[in-house]
Amino acid sequence: MAPGDATIAVDPDNPNGLTEYVPVYDRAVRGLEAPLGFSDCAHPTDRARRDTAGSDRRAVTPVIDRFIIHHTGTTNDQLDFFSRCNKRSSAPTFYLRHDGSVIELIRPGAKPSATGADWNWRSLAVETLDHSGAPDYAVTAAQLEELSQMIAWLATFDGKSLDGVPVSFTIDREHVITHQETWSGTECPGPYLQARLDDIVSRARQIFIAKRSV
């Protein structure tokens, strides 16, 4: 290799070299400042605020009262995609890989860019990397467990503030929902995850109760 031809190794947990921070979610392996977590993706200086909702940007009182589950629709790793001002303007709070590891892409106090203007302001969103493709879009046991862990963690903030935002959250199917339950135009997160929502919620309750008894 000639001098100057050396290539810089890409960090698979931060492929675009985003600014890193200590994640708010204590089980996340990295916290990355994804540009879609800011009010202007092209100039990421001010984090997206939770005080407006809808396409009309009406004023709302910030709250986190929903945990919304998505899937990627592909088995190919999507961290690079979510780390950019991508064509879908899509970036979740959390990105969940096959081994159950979590990358925090947007601070929980900031508004995710995942579910739509009527839901982003009040939710945390997780994108689950599919382990298999169509038609089931299955995920791994490790991912199912981590979804429950995240839900149980969020519930510990009920009646308190998380990263500066008030939380009103109970572990039930009213507060734990999927993308397709917010918009009839999508099948996200696919039939496998959708069919396991009750099990995910039940496991989250177990984890939450165990945490409280410690």
Does the residue 7 lie in any domain? no
Handedness of CA 74, 117, 187, 152 (dihedral sign): positive
| DSSP string across 18-43 | --EE--SSTT-SEEE--GGGBSSTTS
| C-alpha span between 186 and 183 (Å, rounded) | 6
Please report, as a single letter, which amino acid is at residue 96: L
Confidence (pLDDT) at 98:
98
Structure tokens at 202: 């039940």
Confidence (pLDDT) at 6:
56
For residue 173, the 8-state DSSP code is T
Does the residue 1 lie in any domain? no
Task: Domain of residue 98: give its range.
Answer: 20-213
Q: CATH no. for residue 176? A: 3.40.80.10
Does the residue 10 lie in any domain? no
Strands (E), 20-116: 20-21, 30-32, 52-53, 58-59, 66-71, 94-96, 102-104
Report the DSSP beta bridge partners of residue 20.
Answer: 32
Identify the band that residue 9 occupies on the pLDDT scale cut at 50, 70 and 90: confident
Q: What pLDDT digit, counting tens, does each position of 19-41 carry?
A: 999 999 999 999 999 999 999 99
| pLDDT > 70 fraction of the chain, expressed in percent and rounded | 97
Confidence (pLDDT) at 7:
65
Q: Residue range 92-104: average pLDDT?
A: 98
Confidence (pLDDT) at 1:
45
Does the residue 124 lie in any domain? yes
| pLDDT > 90 fraction of the chain, expressed in percent and rounded | 93
User: What's the structural domain count of the chain?
Assistant: 1
- Give the orientation angle of helix 141-155 with respect to helix 197-213, to 10 degrees: 50
How high does pLDDT run on average in the chain? 95
Does the residue 3 lie in any domain? no
Q: Residue range 79-94: average pLDDT?
A: 97
Q: What pLDDT digit, counting tens, does each position of 59-68 carry?
A: 999 999 999 9
Does the residue 169 lie in any domain? yes
Confidence (pLDDT) at 153:
98
- Whole-angstrom CA distances from 111 to 29, 92, 117, 210 are 20, 9, 10, 30
With 90 as the cut, is the pLDDT of residue 181 above it? yes
Confidence (pLDDT) at 134:
97
Does the residue 12 lie in any domain? no
Does the residue 15 lie in any domain? no
Q: Residue range 176-181: average pLDDT?
A: 98
| C-alpha span between 5 and 212 (Å, rounded) | 56
Segment holding 162, helix H or strand E: strand 161-162
Identify the band that residue 214 occupies on the pLDDT scale cut at 50, 70 and 90: confident
Identify the band that residue 213 occupies on the pLDDT scale cut at 50, 70 and 90: confident
